[in-house]
Amino acid sequence: MDLNLTAAEQRFRDEFRAWLEANIPAEWSKSESHEFESTDDRFEFLRAWQKKMYEAGWAGISWPKEFGGRGASLIQQAIFLEEMARASAPPLLNVLGLSLLGPTLIAYGTEAQKKRFLANILSADEIWCQGYSEPNAGSDLASLRTEARLEGDHFIVNGQKTWTSLGHHADWCFAVVRSDPESARHKGLTYLLIDMHSPGVSLRPLKQMTGESEFNEVVFQDVRVPVENAVGKINGGWEIAIATLMFERGTLGASLQITFKRQIERLIQLARGIDRNGRPASDDPIIRQKLAQIFTEIEIFKLNQLRTLTRMSKSGVPGPEGSIQKIFWSEMNQRMQQVAMELLGPYGQLTRESDYTVDHGQWAYAYLRSRGNTIEAGTSEIQRNIIGHFVLGLPKSY
């Protein structure tokens, strides 16, 4: 047991930290809220940023060297994400391609697919979105209905996907579709790479309760997809779809942990300046209890993460323990945002358009946004089912 970084891990951290310091564009650092004239401006800025990281060898570090990555260990990946968060670096734009599709293609793709797609994921020359959820297939993904009819050497795709992030900027979509119309549930599905510039693809932004649009609905109408764009076997897509999801778990916690830590530190700082019954809120026993509780939970989140990483480093596979982490951080964040609201009082509700807002309205925004945390990437209920069945060995409930 050694919670210090090894010398090699320290070198890796120092190297990346120095690179970030030297390379984060001034136009990003100078604006605290990282605002751009338009979402297109923001998009182009981030695309250029990923390209810069790619050229320095910092995109897709978990990928094997032969495919342009660094073959970074899990601990290195965690360090990477921590440093990105610590430096408030601009995010990597092509995140779904880097963390989900890339590893999937490396494991299951044909040589031609690897050659065609991998390098452009790293360089952000082609941006990817994910086509999993449908209006009637959320938690129950296997009930999806988007249809792919095989006609000669093409699939004809018809249907609708939803909660598609980056959809409006994506060049490509990795989707799960029903290729055997007679099939039910997990059988008869195919994992398909769809060109988003094909005729018949249309998009509609999904406006969230926060007012912004992170996600889209995507409609496919008679979209033609060459048969060689299937990953894995035709009608054998479920296995690939699940493998992709497993890549999603694991290292995400590293960057969240820094974000949370920064937020609790900011709340403690704010508490010193807020008047509560004639004295600083930081002296109020109830506020102190609540801040200390959140502080503790954030530390424990980090420690759970370290234990999971150690275990995964030894076993080589991400396990269902990721579900514990998902529940822990999403529910903790909701409690933290509620504590922020209690601390800020009437000011907490103000949005960034108000002259009286605290921290550009980020607390009102984070309060609303956190409601999505216990739903996105598997609801808390689904996560608890996974723990019950896959970790504790209880009989499947459905």
**At its nearest, how many Å lie between other proteins and the CB of residue 187?**
24
In our burial notation (b when 16+ CB lie closer than 10 A, e otherwise), range 375-393 reads eebbbeebbebbbeeeeee
Find residue 158's DSSP bridge partners. Answer: 147
Binding string, residues 320-339; x marks residues near other proteins by CB under 8 A: ----x--xx-----------
User: For 236, how many CA atoms within 13 A lie in the half-sphere containing its CB?
Assistant: 6
- Residues 90, 35: Cα–Cα separation, whole Å: 12
- Residues 38, 287: Cα–Cα separation, whole Å: 39
Which region, judged by CB under 8 A, interacts with other proteins, from 80-88, 116-124, 250-258, 377-385? Answer: 377-385
The yes or no reply on residue 393 touching other proteins (CB under 8 A) is: yes
- Residues 306, 320: Cα–Cα separation, whole Å: 15
The yes or no reply on residue 387 touching other proteins (CB under 8 A) is: yes
**At its nearest, how many Å lie between other proteins and the CB of residue 140?**
14
Tokens of 192: 């398909």
DSSP for 302-340, written as a single string = HHHHHHHHHHHHHH-S--TTHHHHHHHHHHHHHHHHHHH
The yes or no reply on residue 139 touching other proteins (CB under 8 A) is: no
The yes or no reply on residue 11 touching other proteins (CB under 8 A) is: no
Identify the active-site residue in 82, 248, 297, 321. Answer: 248
Cβ nearer to other proteins, comparing 99 with 330: 330
Tokens of 234: 């035709």
Give Cα 91 to chain centroid, integer Å: 11
Among 309, 339, 364, 366, binds other proteins (CB under 8 A): 309
**At its nearest, how many Å lie between other proteins and the CB of residue 15?**
17
**Contact present, 42 and 36 (Cβ < 8 Å):** yes
Cβ nearer to other proteins, comparing 85 with 264: 264
> Strands (DSSP E) along 63-214, which ranges?
128-131, 147-151, 154-165, 172-178, 189-195, 201-206
Which region, judged by CB under 8 A, interacts with other proteins, from 54-62, 101-109, 192-200, 265-273? Answer: 265-273
Burial of residue 21, with CB atoms counted within 10 A of its CB: 0-12 exposed, 13-18 middle, 19 or more buried: exposed
Which region, judged by CB under 8 A, interacts with other proteins, from 136-144, 191-199, 362-370, 390-398? Answer: 390-398
Among 21, 300, 345, 354, binds other proteins (CB under 8 A): 300
Among 136, 289, 345, 354, binds other proteins (CB under 8 A): 289
The yes or no reply on residue 258 touching other proteins (CB under 8 A) is: no
**Contact present, 343 and 316 (Cβ < 8 Å):** no
Binding string, residues 183-212; x marks residues near other proteins by CB under 8 A: ------------------------------
The yes or no reply on residue 255 touching other proteins (CB under 8 A) is: no
Is residue 248 annotated as part of the catalytic site, yes or no?
A: yes
Specify the 3-state DSSP secondary structure of 212: coil
**At its nearest, how many Å lie between other proteins and the CB of residue 80?**
14
- Residues 240, 233: Cα–Cα separation, whole Å: 9
8-state DSSP, 349: G
The yes or no reply on residue 33 touching other proteins (CB under 8 A) is: no
Binding string, residues 336-375; x marks residues near other proteins by CB under 8 A: ----------------------------------------
- Residues 59, 123: Cα–Cα separation, whole Å: 8
Residues found near other proteins in the complex (CB under 8 A): 1-6, 9, 75, 268, 271-272, 282, 285, 288-289, 291-293, 295-297, 299-300, 303-304, 306-307, 309-311, 324, 327-328, 381, 383-385, 387-389, 391-397
Could you give the residue numbers annotated as active site? 248
